[in-house]
Structure 1
Amino acid sequence: MNDDRDNDPTTLAARQRRFEEDLIDAYDEELEMEVDDRILDGEGAISDEARALRKTYFRELFRLQGELVKLQDWIVQTGHRVVVIFEGRDAAGKGGAIKRITQRLNPRVCRVAALPAPSNRERTQWYFQRYVSHLPAGGEMVLFDRSWYNRAGVERVMGFCNDAEYEEFFRSVPEFEKMLVRSGIQILKYWFSITDEEQEIRFQARIQDPLKQWKLSPMDLESRRRWEAYTQAKEVMLQRSHIAEAPWWVVQAVDKKRARLNCIHHLLSQVPYKEVEHSSITLPERVHHPDYIRQPVAANMIVPELY
């Protein structure tokens, strides 16, 4: 049964206003991730120029995220399988880029694989074994926040693997990735590149910000000390695992916002997706039962409204 109030202009205007408020709330999620009120309200408030750049950034981010939704729909429709690998130094911005990619996508379609250090049992397995279970099925995209390239980076630098294991990795990884590509999995590999000075600034910022200190681990601090060893390991990795079937792409990441936009734009350009047509959606009418009486909720179950 239709309620006459549904067609009342005042009700329609109120609904439209509520819809717009909800849309703004969604956009505020990005602002919450980007803006610290302690900075904006203090002496270091951003300049007009910086505010204009932020406006451009968000406008382009929203546009690219709209394209990511189209990509997602195409992946589901076609059964395409995509693996996206994110590698880079600590504090290079990999996590921030991944957040912006996944932010508006269905986690059942686009999921993140961020594996912890291997267990004692996993250390005795074939090296790639623990990663295989995270590979995508048809209609899925998996983003690896660090990947099997741990062996070429942190494990090599920190001495967690021996020379024989290191060399075997480089013998195996091209064949492993070629095998995945032959099976129909598209592989995109991104290295987020930052300078020595930029990593120091980001680490210092994490040390000084209590909301970000959790991001610093003893391993991160040690990686800072071994900057040159990581540089050498990265150079060897890019040289020995850059193959036609799964090439490396380097993202200049000193500017976080530019890095995110450039990475997302490039990712979209590498997949031959098309916009999928959807049938129009009609919200069904709610069933009303005149004899139904909604029961009150006990007062002691209500969360106090402090805000």
Structure 2
Amino acid sequence: MDLEHSHEKAARKLDAEHALRPWQVELLKLQQHLEIQNLRMIVLFEGRDAAGKGGAIRRVTRFMNEKRYRVVALGRPTEEQRSQWYYQRYVAQFPAGGEMVLFDRSWYNRAMVEQVFGFCTPKEYMDFLDGVTGFEKDLVRTGTILVKLYYSVTREEQARRFERRRTDPLRQWKLSEIDMQAQDRWDDFTNRKYDMLRRTGTPMAPWTIVRSNDKQKARLNTMKVILNAVDYKHRAPDLDFTPDPRIVVPGDEEVALMEGGTWS
């Protein structure tokens, strides 16, 4: 019975992967458009630990032209980097014309992880919230396409994924010390998420929330959001590019839901 269940699960996963193929073809068209038009594009992947950011990035980039995109996942800053302008090490990774850069966590580390765990001072945190919208406004004004995604997972689903990481030898490397504290600090992260969305979402650089309890749906809708950010040529006329409103939520709506106690 367990073997049969395992086969069924593998078959469902394979079907879900195949369902992404048409959208992965569209991402290649998007890449070609960026190259021809010499456009720069940045996609930020933010969210709690185990929210599904890494898996979404892998599906988005799976068939893309490796010469025209980069995935950036920066570690802790060095002492030298801590003495620099905060954005400096991120700006050093920004795309050239015709290129897409996907940040697996970004400068918004300061709004969430750094603040929760005391890796920055209260002044550094407030300076970031006060200044980031201007930074992004200039980025967009000068021609960079910026997409800001926040992956929203429930506390119960995060706990389940952590347990799987703990017990699966192939996933244990994913479990960090910070992961071990994420559940205990759930409310702290919720408060920082609320402040971040409320303070840093703007008409020029809005947040898009991706409900990620269902990884397959989150990945499909992530692709739709990225594709909708650019008016590229030769879109497939038979595909529905409208994101599922149960999965994709505008950042300002998420703020309203959090104020009403619906989401954390």
Shift of 1:163: 1.2
Percentage of identical aligned residues: 49
In the TM superposition, residue 115 of structure 1 has moved relative to its aligned partner by: 0.5
Letter in structure 2 aligned against 1:76: E
Once the 2 structures are TM-superposed, how far is the Cα of residue 206 of structure 1 from its aligned partner? 0.5
Is 1:102–1:111's contact at 8 Å kept on the other side of the alignment? no
Residues 1:97 and 2:52 aligned together: no
Unaligned runs of at least 5 residues, structure 2: 236-264
The CA distance in 1 between the partners of 2:158 and 2:82, in whole Å, is 30
Distance 1:160 1:154 in 2: 8
Look at both structures and tell me which one has the larger radius of gyration over its CA atoms. 1
Equivalent residue, structure 1, for 2:27: 68
What residue number does 1:77 align with?
36
Name 1:264's counterpart in structure 2. 223
Q: Take 1:111 and 1:227, find their aligned partners in 2: how far apart are those partners?
A: 31
The number of residue pairs the alignment matches comes to 235
RMSD after superposition:
1.7
| Deviations 1:191-235, CA, capped at 9 Å, x for gaps | 000000000000000001000000001111122221110111111
Q: Residue 74 of structure 1 contacts residue 275 of structure 1 at CA under 8 Å; is this kept in 2?
A: no
User: 1:43/1:56 Cα in 2 relative to 1: closer, same or farther (>3 Å)?
Assistant: closer
Structure 1 residue ranges, 4+ long, deviating more than 6 angstroms after superposition: none
**Structure 1: gaps (5+ residues):** 1-39, 277-307
Query: Offset of 1:52 from its aligned partner?
Result: 6.9
Contact kept? 1:81, 1:138, Cα under 8 Å: yes
Trace 1:141-152 onto structure 2 (pairs within 5 A): 141-152=100-111
Aligned to 2:167: 208
In the TM superposition, residue 57 of structure 1 has moved relative to its aligned partner by 2.1
Deviation at 1:41, TM superposition (A): 7.5
Q: Which moved more, 1:261-270 or 1:244-253?
A: 261-270
Distance, in Å, in 2 between the alignment partners of 1:58 and 1:43 is 20
Query: Please, which of 103, 108, 126 is the counterpart of residue 67 of structure 2?
Result: 108
Matches within 5 A, 1:1-307: 42=3, 44-47=5-8, 53-54=12-13, 56-275=15-234
The one-letter amino acid paired with 1:156 is: Q
3-state DSSP class of the match of 2:16?
helix
Amino acid paired to 1:190: L
What's the TM-score once normalised by structure 2's chain length? 0.85
8 Å contact from structure 2 (residues 145, 229) kept in 1: no
